[in-house]
């Protein structure tokens, strides 16, 4: 496993549990028989881009994109030159309306991750062409542990919880953090309140209030 040391020290005990060993065996078999996304060395990119103590914002997705040349370990993000997925189009639209800026044409959100935005899917792998195919195999327990570790940090952070799937984590996040909830940015639900939620300006106001550099969301 290629996990940044600051995270591995915190998650080492988790990786030795039976469920995680079973998950790794499942993944090994899956990669032997099918194409699995993202590539093996990108699975933990969300953690590898942002050290534990540098996380300022957490955005929780579900599972990786399941078509070629898309997933690279960051939620909602796609590799260039892939076209922007519909949810990311809506995210950019909300950013532009909220902050009155023009977003990049690139769907690669590593530029956010490098500023302290943890782009974490709750399921970290998927079989090609089969959305949610690795759901219920153990990833959810592992990523919930990650969210719990962050929630227990004293330093204030922003948690953006979009849709009911991400919203389930609200109950474990203490009051020193800012929890921003909205419908998912998917075209199926964005018009129910994601558009106009102003999460990005609220996030930056909170960070500045607590002496942190705001995120450049372009």
188 half-sphere exposure, CB direction, 13 A CA radius: 3
pTM of the full predicted structure? Answer: 0.97
Whether omega for the bond prior to residue 212 falls within 30 degrees of 0, making it cis, is: no
Residues that are catalytic: 63
162: phi then psi, degrees, rounded to nearest 5: -110, 120
67 half-sphere exposure, CB direction, 13 A CA radius: 7
Distance set, CA 199 to CA 60, 137, 138 (Å): 14, 32, 30
Q: Which residues of the chain have pLDDT under 50?
A: none
Predicted confidence at residue 36, as pLDDT, reads 98
Predicted confidence at residue 183, as pLDDT, reads 97
**pLDDT tens digits for 102-132?**
999 999 999 999 999 999 999 999 999 999 9
Predicted confidence at residue 1, as pLDDT, reads 72
The Cβ of residue 139 has, within 10 Å, a number of other Cβ atoms equal to: 23
Predicted confidence at residue 2, as pLDDT, reads 85
């Amino acid at each position: 496993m290629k996990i940044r040391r600051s995270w591995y020290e915190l998650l080492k005990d988790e990786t030795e549990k039976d469920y995680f060993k079973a998950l790794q065996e499942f993944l090994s078999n899956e990669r032997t028989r099918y194409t699995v996304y993202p590539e093996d060395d990108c699975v933990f990119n969300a953690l590898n881009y942002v050290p534990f103590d540098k996380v300022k914002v957490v955005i929780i997705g579900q599972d990786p994109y399941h078509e070629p040349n898309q997933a690279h370990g960051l939620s909602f993000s796609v590799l260039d030159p892939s076209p922007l997925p519909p949810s990311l189009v809506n995210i950019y639209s909300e950013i532009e309306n909220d902050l009155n800026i023009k977003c990049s044409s690139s769907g690669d959100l590593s530029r956010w991750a490098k500023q302290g935005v943890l782009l974490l899917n709750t399921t970290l792998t998927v079989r090609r062409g089969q959305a949610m195919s690795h759901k219920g195999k153990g990833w959810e327990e592992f990523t919930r542990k990650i969210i719990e570790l962050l929630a227990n940090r004293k330093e204030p952070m922003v948690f953006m919880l979009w849709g009911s799937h991400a919203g389930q984590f609200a109950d474990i996040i203490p009051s020193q953090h800012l929890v921003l909830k909205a419908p998912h940015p998917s075209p199926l639900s964005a018009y129910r309140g994601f558009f106009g939620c102003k999460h990005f300006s609220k996030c930056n106001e909170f960070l500045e209030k607590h002496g942190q550099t705001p995120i450049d969301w372009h």
